[in-house]
Amino acid sequence: MVSEFLFHEAESTKAENTNYINLKIEIRELLKEPVNRKLFSEILFDLQKDVSGETLNRLHKLYVDLGLDQDAFAKLKSWKWHVVSKGILELTKMEVPESYGVIKKYINTKKGVIRKQAEIATATLKHEGINYFLDTTTYKISEWQQLKLLDVLRNFEDFQPPRFKVWFTSNNKDVVLFALRLAKYYNQNDANTSITELVKHRNNQIKTEAIQCIREFNIVEAVEPLKNIFWKCTVNIKLLILGAVASLGKEEDVVFLQLVANKDSNFTVKSKALGAINTICPESVMPTKGIDEKLANSSWKEVMEFSEEYILVKPELIKNNELLEEETDITADITEASKEVFVLPIKENIIEDKDLVANVNDIEVFTEEITPEVNEKEEETINFSESANTNLNFETSIDSSPIHVESLENTFELDATEHSENINDITVVFEEILQTNTPSELDLPIEESEEGIDTSEDDELEKELNFLPIIVDEETFSNNIIENEPEQEPSVIHFDEEEILIDFLPFIVDEQEENVAVTGIEVIYDEIVADNELSTQETVKQEESLLISLLKEDFDLDFIPIIESSTENKLIKDDTAEVADTIEVVEAVIPKAMFPEMTFEEEAKQLLDDIEEFGDQREVSLLNELLENEEYNHLSDRIQNILKKFNDNSNSSVPENKDLKHFCVFEDLFRICDTEAKLILMDEIVAVGDEKEILFLNSLLEDNNINISSKAEKLLKELQNKMMVQNILPIKNTKTISDEKVSDEYSRLMNELEIKPADSINFFDVEFEFSDEVLPADESNEIADEAEKADQASFLSNICSFSHKIIDKFNG
Amino acid sequence: MLEKKKLLLAEDDELLASLLNFRLQKGGYDVTLSRDGKEVKESLALAIPDIIVSDIMMPYFSGIELIDFIRNDLKLNIPIIIISSAGNEDNVLSAFELGANDFISKPVNPSELLVRVAREMNKM
């Protein structure tokens, strides 16, 4: 259908015309439905991307003819930004010229998407749209937007660009920048002065663009202003300026560039300046850093100075790698082809014929070190000593070039076979490293060495390899270890016969043996017994008693280290046995701690010390008991002193009533604050304070500051009144301060006016029961009225009488 | 009655294909429409057209591969016109190297295409 419309020609046949008209009618019927309209416009919108030329124009015309542009116009009126944006896009793509007037109003809209769409549309729909846009836009023009606009302008057919210099004076810096770029693109070089002036703009982008325009348009007059602004610019701008000076500058500008190269701190700028100098005056600046003076002064002709004569060596003189001394006729061995003349310079690489070595085997390695003394100025020669067994004696200079020898193919004939035989004759020694030093206990068998291996150096090797670990079979090792293990000492501690006094270690004494001299003290202690199934306390005790008895006979020890030597021996033996042997369970008992014996007196002293330091009145009863049972006078005196001390403390510090001292918040703050702050705090006391503050205010009455004392007196009265009121009228805690004030005033008024407050009416305590009787309407109404009246009497009567009472009061 | 020239149109864009199909048919060609490279091969198996107009970017087989197939495998010398999109200059060069006769860039001007087809047909 679309194709029919697009490719219909006026010159078509009658049938085709009829068909075309029918299609038109049909399509108008279809387009009455919005879905079809939307579909059709989508189809046209997709097609317009793929076609061009006359077909595209027809497509646009069809779009308008079918009234589909009205839908797009309707979208412009929407309050949704994406709908508006889509409408603008459709009208732009379909190139509806009538939409220009509507769309250009959106150029300065707040919504960015709509604004950008409108900018493109304005530039697209009409050629002069770009003018309007640059004139009216007040918003920023992004780089991308500028590119898109430029792309639109580029694709215009027969586009006559305006003079963009008009916008160089715009207030919008993006407009100035875009105008510069358009001027550069369209090569509008009739605004040189303006462009030169724009170099002084604050915006770096505009500066950059202006400098590029200057360079593009070859504005030579701008070089001087560029030099003037150079020192105040950023590095990038400086580089651009230097580039412009390089392309536009003359020799007079070299001075400036040299100044820049010397003065500027940035290396890039310096090097750019030098490059600019070289551009203006080529090769005026040469590299100097890192230049080797020797190489700078060297010449290839120096080599030629030493070689004045040349010798000619005839191949005939060389036979079997030996240079013949005499010139003899040699015709048998030398072929005609080898009749070449060889040129060797003298002095540099003179190789005497006699010295040429025919056989490679005769060449011996030169082992002497060569240490030439290098002197830059003088030439030195290296002399090989005769003891080096070399037959090569020649003099060379260090600075000389390498020896150049022509190919001597037919002079030396090396016999390879001889060399191979000699190589085979070289004896090779194979050595095997063996360990001979094995531990005596292990007695490992040593494998016999192979025949032909010399083991005379084994001893030395062993010494060197003693650090290596020895790897031995497990079987031999395990068997040997058991046999060779040294006997372990028993763990029984044997004491000497000398008496040893060790009284610093604790000892544990059985309960039975304990004789507690300090009576009245209940000291509780428990024995620690190991939780072992097979251990029995009886055996432990027996052993302990044995040990104790033994030791007490001979030694005066205060401790008995109970070590289960027998058990430990058993353990060791168990360990030594193999895993197959079961370990016998030993009675493992933790020895009891043993404390040194203290006399009663000492214990009592210690106890009294502790009580005096840590105790208080609660220990009085204990002290009384101790006093009753005390035998020593000094101890009883001490107990009495402690009691007295405790009693004195109790009387002075702790009041009989167990109430704690009242804590006043303001008291702590008053210590820190100054006078003004104190006065402000005092204002709050009445509002917040209670009984505690009364005491505090009482203390403030004696304050040195008159203001504080007077204010404290005043506030004290107020607070006391408040407390009185509170006591009279129970106020709930949930009430606020303002409520309290209101209630205070209310109560005062009530008191003054001698009005009794009405009893609180609890509206929710309504007791009623449904009765079977149905009261007549009149009676029920009467009852209701009476109830109302009763309520009103109590509440309203008070209010009503209130005014009367005030009047009476005034009237006396 | 002159026999209509057979034209094979290979274009995967349905809208453009139908538009070009209509225009070429109106221009007096017997157009066979193929949506992708596979259908082109099947069409070629059934009948050899007088001229081929093919898009470069297609599913299964691109226009370049088709040119290679027609020139090297089928050994046919029928004129081939390539429809290329913007930025596909490299493909156009490849197509010419393989043996394409002409190309037209998108957006396509149907009238221009008709002229190019007529020119190639006249060359034959």
The predicted-structure confidence for A398-414, as pLDDT tens digits, reads as follows 455 555 555 555 544 44
Mean pLDDT (whole number) for A133-156:
94
Cβ contact, residue pair B109, A2, below 8 Å:
no
Which residue type, as a one-letter code, is found at position A751? N
Q: Length of chain A, please?
A: 812
Q: How far apart are CA A672 and CA A551, in angstroms?
A: 72
CA-wise closest residue to A180 among A213, A146, A136, A203: A213
Q: What is the DSSP string of A461-517?
A: HHHHTTTSPPP--HHHHHHHHHHHPPPPPP-PPPPPSS-----SS--B--TTT----
Site of tokens 């090792």: A477
- CB-based contact B110 A4, cutoff 8 Å: no
Instruction: Specify the residue for token string 């050899």.
Output: B48
Helix (H, G, I), strand (E, B) or coil at A44: helix
Mean pLDDT of the region B28-47: 91
| Residues of chain B with C-beta less than 8 angstroms from the C-beta of A13 | none
Query: Rounded distance, CA B1 to CA A469, Å?
Result: 108
- What's the N-to-C CA distance of chain B in angstroms? 20
Tell which wins on pLDDT, A483 or A223. A223
CB pairs under 8 A between A and B: 44
Confidence of residue A93 (pLDDT cuts 50, 70, 90): very high
Amino acid at B91: N
Output A48 or A501, whichever has higher pLDDT: A48
Which one of B23, B26, B107 has the shortest CB-CB distance to A52? B107
pLDDT over 90, % of chain B: 60
pLDDT in tens, A255-308: 999 999 999 899 999 999 999 999 998 877 777 778 888 787 777 777 666 555
Would you call A47 an interface residue with chain B, using a CB distance cutoff of 8 Å?
Answer: yes
Q: What is the pLDDT of residue A656?
A: 47
Better pLDDT: A587 or A292? A292
Chain B residue nearest residue A48, CA to CA: B107
Q: Give pLDDT, residue A693.
A: 83
What is the distance between the alpha carbons of residues B8 and B118, in angstroms, rounded to a whole number?
14
Q: Determine which of B109, B113, B114, B116 to mutate to test the interface with A (most A C-beta atoms within 10 Å).
A: B109
A55 and chain B in contact, CB less than 8 A: yes
Task: List the 293-352 stretch of A: residues with Cβ below 8 A of B.
Answer: none
**Per-residue pLDDT averaged across A525-532, rounded?**
55
Is pLDDT at A123 greater than 90 in this prediction?
A: yes
- Whether the CB of A51 is below 8 Å from some CB of chain B: the reply is yes
% pLDDT > 70, chain A? 55
Partner residue opposite A43 with nearest CB, options B15, B23, B109 = B15
Cβ-Cβ contacts under 8 Å for A479 (sequence gap 6 or more): none
Residue B81: is it exposed, middle or buried by C-beta count within 10 angstroms (0-12/13-18/19+)?
buried
More confident residue, B12 or A418: B12
Which of A255, A228, A262, A226 lies closest to A242, judged by CA? A226
C-alpha to C-alpha distance for B70 and B99, rounded to whole angstroms: 9
The residue that leads in pLDDT, A429 or A276, is A276
Q: Please judge whether A54 and B109 are an interchain contact, meaning their C-beta atoms are less than 8 angstroms apart.
A: yes
Match 């005033």 to its residue by tokens: A745
Give the model's pLDDT for residue B33.
93
Could you tell me the two tokens for A342?
Answer: 């060889």
Of A40-49, A328-337, A521-530, A796-805, minimum mean pLDDT range: A328-337
Which ranges of A218-317 would DSSP assign to H, the alpha helix? 223-229, 235-248, 254-263, 267-280, 293-297, 302-306
ipTM of the complex: 0.89
pLDDT for the residue numbered A694: 83
Min Cα–Cα distance to chain A from B73, Å: 32
What secondary structure letter does DSSP report for A558? S
* Confidence (pLDDT) at A769: 57
Provide the 10 A C-beta neighbour count for residue A685: 24
Using CA atoms, how far residue A489 sits from A104, A565, A577, A811, in Å, is: 111, 11, 17, 122
Q: Are B107 and A49 a contacting pair at CB < 8 A?
A: yes
Pairing of strands B5-10, B29-34: parallel
What is the per-residue pLDDT for A809? 73
Nearest-neighbour CA in chain A from B121: distance (Å): 22
| pLDDT number for residue A25 | 87
d(CA B84, CA B108): 9
* Highest mean pLDDT of the ranges A368-372, A441-445, A651-655, A684-688: A684-688
Highest mean pLDDT among A16-30, A158-172, A294-308: A158-172
Distance CA A230, CA A220 (A): 16
Do A206 and A181 touch, CB atoms closer than 8 A?
no
Q: Taking the CB of residue A39, how many other CB atoms lie within 10 A of it?
A: 13
Q: Please give the residue that has the higher pLDDT: either A136 or A649.
A: A136
Q: What is the mean pLDDT of residues A562-581?
A: 46
pLDDT at A383 over 50: no
**pLDDT (tens digit per residue) in A296-352:** 777 777 766 655 555 555 555 555 555 555 444 444 444 444 444 444 444 444 555
DSSP structural state of residue A332: S
**A52:B111 CB<8 A:** no
User: Residue A720 is encoded by which pair of tokens?
Assistant: 């006391």
Our CA angle for B53, B58, B64, nearest 5°, is 65
Task: Give, as one character, the DSSP assignment of residue A397.
Answer: B
**Tell me, what's the pLDDT at A599?**
77
A322-323 and B51-55 beta bridge pairing = unpaired
Among the ranges given (A97-111, A460-474, A578-592, B106-120), the one the predictor scored with the smallest mean pLDDT: A578-592
User: Quick one: DSSP state of residue A264?
Assistant: -
Give Cβ neighbours of residue A515 (< 8 Å, ≥ 6 apart).
Answer: none
**Mean pLDDT for the stretch of residues A556-563:** 47
Residue A52 sits at the chain B interface (C-beta within 8 Å) = yes
Other Cβ atoms closer than 10 A to A512: 8
Task: Sort out which chain A residues have CB atoms less than 8 A from B26's CB and list them.
Answer: 7
Is the per-residue pLDDT at B92 higher than 90? no
Element of type H or E holding B33: strand B29-34
CB-nearest to B108 from A6, A43, A50 is: A50
Regarding predicted confidence, which is higher, A772 or A122? Answer: A122
User: In one letter, which amino acid is B7?
Assistant: L
CA distance A24 to A8: 12
Cα A633 to chain centroid, rounded: 76
**Residue A753 and residue A759: Cα distance in Å, rounded?**
17
- So what's the pLDDT on residue A270? 93
pLDDT for A512 beyond 60: no
For residue A109, pLDDT over 90 is answered with yes
- Give the Cα separation of A571 and A609 in Å (integer): 48
pLDDT one-digit tens code per residue, B50-73: 999 999 988 888 889 999 999 999
Please tell me the predicted confidence (pLDDT) of residue A674. Answer: 85
Task: Write the pLDDT tens digit of every residue in A742-765.
Answer: 566 667 777 766 665 555 555 555
Mean pLDDT is highest, among A363-367, A420-424, A533-537, B80-84, for B80-84
CA distance A626 to A622: 6
- DSSP string over A56-119: HHHHHHHHHHTTHHHHHHHHHT-SSHHHHHHHHHHHHHTT-GGGHHHHGGGGG-S-HHHHHHHH
- DSSP alpha helix (H) spans, A281-316: 293-297, 302-306
**pLDDT score recorded for residue A468:** 72
Per the structure block, which two tokens stand in for A164? 């963009």
Q: Which residues pair with B104 in a beta bridge?
A: B83
Assess whether pLDDT exceeds 80 at residue A369. no
Residue A319 structure tokens? 């036979």
User: Closest Cα of chain B to A51: distance in Å?
Assistant: 5
Q: Which of A167-181, A453-467, A563-577, A603-617 has the highest mean predicted lDDT (pLDDT)? A: A167-181
Q: Specify the higher pLDDT residue, A343 or A812.
A: A812
CB contact under 8 A, A6 and B19: yes
